[in-house]
């Protein structure tokens, strides 16, 4: 038996978690009407993730792709959180912060680049995006690439729908995609 | 080549209590928090160049123990005021727990580190030996000597010590 057992159990009540410095990547869990998002910036403040995936999956991806010095620092995400909330309340059209698609593959990066020319309130189709990147046969691959968008909402992959006008897939679910398109339509 | 290591936050979430316990036991209530804080800063700095990710808990606890040792030595080197309030320099230990931790801190350095790594941080003798740069047999001896000393200091006050 551990001779310190009782003293340790009483000690645990006095312990406080450490205050850590800023690492290479800071992240926060942010609750929205669309569910919990994992937000992350590469320090000193480039947005690299806005994801519907869970904390473990996103932080592991960040650790592998950027640096293992990934720390939960909600204070470092204050601006992004505020802008997202404003956007989701219909009071803002763009997230006005530097971004990097470093978590995406080169093909996905090409696809996401096309989103810059799809303004607030409009939509385009998977086929149109495929043509825009010079691969007109690749609309399925475009769909997969958009599904792998590491910076959802900020890079508006929800503005890409099927050629027949139906919604198509979305990482945050069909309901979230519908909500975002309706929000931008102003209804 | 670098190895795949988990996001640092996971180490913090999983091990901060162990680090805080160890720092407290080695450095006491006032200094323990500083020692833990310094240990985390050191670990964060060293993390990207870590070459062996197999036992991160033991790695963190070893950093914490070394930080406590350095802290202890730099305090010992600092000049002490001699004529000021000698009666109140060390507040009297109030509870049996305080007396236990005080006696632990009064142990010789290697005994203290060994007994705390083994019983507070729950490291095996092989891991304690690695942290101290010695053998498992020597670690066993240090821990046993430490318990003998604690028992004789604390007498029957603390029957939980090594019964």
Q: What angle do CA A36, A42, A44 make, to 5 degrees?
A: 120
* pTM, full prediction: 0.87
Contact criterion met (CB below 8 Å) for A75 and A176: no
Whole-angstrom Cα distance, residue A5 to residue A33?
Answer: 45
Whole-angstrom Cα distance, residue B153 to residue A51?
Answer: 57
E strand or H helix at A51: strand A46-51
The CATH fold assigned to A106-185 is Arc Repressor Mutant, subunit A (1.10.10)
The mean pLDDT of B97-106, rounded to a whole number, is 91
Task: Assess if residue B101 is contained within a domain.
Answer: yes
A77 closest CA partner among A20, A146, A30, A13: A30
- pLDDT of res. B3: 61
Find the DSSP H helices in B47-108: 56-77, 96-106
Whole-angstrom Cα distance, residue B39 to residue A140?
Answer: 50
**Proportion of chain A above pLDDT 90, given as a percent:** 92
Whether domain A25-88 has CATH 3.40.190: the reply is: no
- pLDDT of res. B74: 82
Task: Assess if residue B159 is contained within a domain.
Answer: no
Q: What is the pLDDT of residues B3-16, one digit of tens each?
A: 689 999 999 999 99
Contact criterion met (CB below 8 Å) for A161 and A125: yes
Contact criterion met (CB below 8 Å) for A51 and A37: yes
ipTM: 0.91
Residue in B29, B40, B48 closest to A20 by CB = B40
B133 closest CA partner among B107, B116, B149, B110: B110
Domain residues for B25?
8-78+96-154
E strand or H helix at A32: strand A25-32
Q: Answer whether A20 sits within 8 Å of B48, measured CB to CB.
A: no
Q: Answer whether A16 sits within 8 Å of B162, measured CB to CB.
A: no
Output DSSP code: residue A98.
Answer: -
Task: Assess if residue B53 is contained within a domain.
Answer: yes
Whole-angstrom Cα distance, residue B33 to residue A19?
Answer: 10
Task: Assess if residue B149 is contained within a domain.
Answer: yes
Nearest CA in chain B to A65: B4
Contact criterion met (CB below 8 Å) for A30 and A36: yes
Q: Using a CB-CB distance cutoff of 8 angstroms, which residues of chain A are in contact with residue B101?
A: 7
Does residue A152 carry a catalytic annotation?
A: no
Q: What is the pLDDT of residues B135-159, one digit of tens each?
A: 999 999 999 999 999 999 887 554 4
Nearest CA in chain A to B15: A17
Domain ranges of chain A: 25-88, 106-185
Q: B28-52 burial string, b = 16+ CB within 10 Å, else e?
A: beebbbebbbbbbbbbbeebeeeee
Whole-angstrom Cα distance, residue A104 to residue A111?
Answer: 10
Q: Answer whether A59 sits within 8 Å of B147, measured CB to CB.
A: no
Q: Phi and psi (nearest 5°) for B52?
A: -135, 110
> How many CB atoms are located within 10 Å of the residue B77 CB?
7
Domain with B35 in it: what CATH number?
Answer: 1.20.140
Whole-angstrom Cα distance, residue B156 to residue B148?
Answer: 13
- pLDDT of res. B163: 39
For chain A, give the number of residues: 187
Per-residue pLDDT at B106 exceeds 80: yes
Per-residue pLDDT at A161 exceeds 70: yes
Provide the CA A120 distance to its chain's centre, in angstroms.
Answer: 18
Task: Assess if residue B72 is contained within a domain.
Answer: yes
Q: What is the pLDDT of residues B33-92, one digit of tens each?
A: 999 999 999 999 999 998 887 899 999 999 999 999 998 888 777 665 555 554 555 555
Nearest CA in chain A to B95: A7
**Is B22 exposed, middle or buried, given 0-12, 13-18 or 19+ CB atoms closer than 10 A?**
buried
Mean of pLDDT over chain B: 86
Per-residue pLDDT at A132 exceeds 80: yes
**Is B153 exposed, middle or buried, given 0-12, 13-18 or 19+ CB atoms closer than 10 A?**
middle
DSSP A29-69: EEEETTEEEEEEEETTTEEEEEESS-HHHHHHHHHHHT-S-
Whole-angstrom Cα distance, residue A70 to residue B54?
Answer: 19
User: How far does the CA of residue B13 sit from the closest CA of chain A (Å)?
Assistant: 9
């Amino acid at each position: 038996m551990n001779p310190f057992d009782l003293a340790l159990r009483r000690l645990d009540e006095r312990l406080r978690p450490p205050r850590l410095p800023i690492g290479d990547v800071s992240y926060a869990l942010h609750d929205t009407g669309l569910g919990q998002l994992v937000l992350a910036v590469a320090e000193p403040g480039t947005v690299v993730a806005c994801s519907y995936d869970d904390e473990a999956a996103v932080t592991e991806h960040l650790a592998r792709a950027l640096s293992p010095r990934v720390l939960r620092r909600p204070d470092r995400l204050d601006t992004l959180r505020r802008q997202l909330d404003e956007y989701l309340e219909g009071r803002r059209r763009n997230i006005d912060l530097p971004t990097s698609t470093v978590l995406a593959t080169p093909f996905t990066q090409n696809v996401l680049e096309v989103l810059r020319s799809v303004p607030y309130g409009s939509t385009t189709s998977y086929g149109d995006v495929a043509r825009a990147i010079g691969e007109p046969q690749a609309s399925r691959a475009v769909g997969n690439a958009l599904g792998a968008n590491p910076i959802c909402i900020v890079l508006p992959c929800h503005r890409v729908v099927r050629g027949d006008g139906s919604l198509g897939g979305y990482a945050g679910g069909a309901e979230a995609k519908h909500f975002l398109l309706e929000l931008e339509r102003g209804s | 080549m670098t190895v795949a290591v988990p996001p640092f936050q996971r180490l913090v979430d999983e091990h901060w209590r162990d680090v805080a316990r160890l720092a407290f036991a080695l450095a006491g209530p006032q200094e323990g928090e500083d020692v833990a804080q310094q240990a985390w800063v050191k670990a964060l700095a060293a993390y990207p160049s870590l070459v062996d990710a197999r036992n991160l808990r033991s790695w963190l606890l070893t950093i914490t123990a070394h930080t406590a040792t350095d802290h202890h030595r730099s305090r010992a080197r600092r000049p002490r005021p001699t004529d000021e309030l000698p009666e109140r320099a060390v507040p009297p230990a109030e509870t049996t727990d305080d007396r236990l931790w005080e006696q632990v801190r009064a142990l010789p350095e290697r005994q203290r580190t060994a007994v705390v790594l083994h019983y507070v941080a729950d490291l095996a003798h092989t891991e304690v030996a690695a942290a101290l740069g010695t053998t498992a047999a020597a670690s066993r001896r240090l821990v046993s000597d430490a318990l003998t000393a604690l028992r004789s200091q604390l007498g029957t006050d603390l029957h939980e010590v090594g019964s």
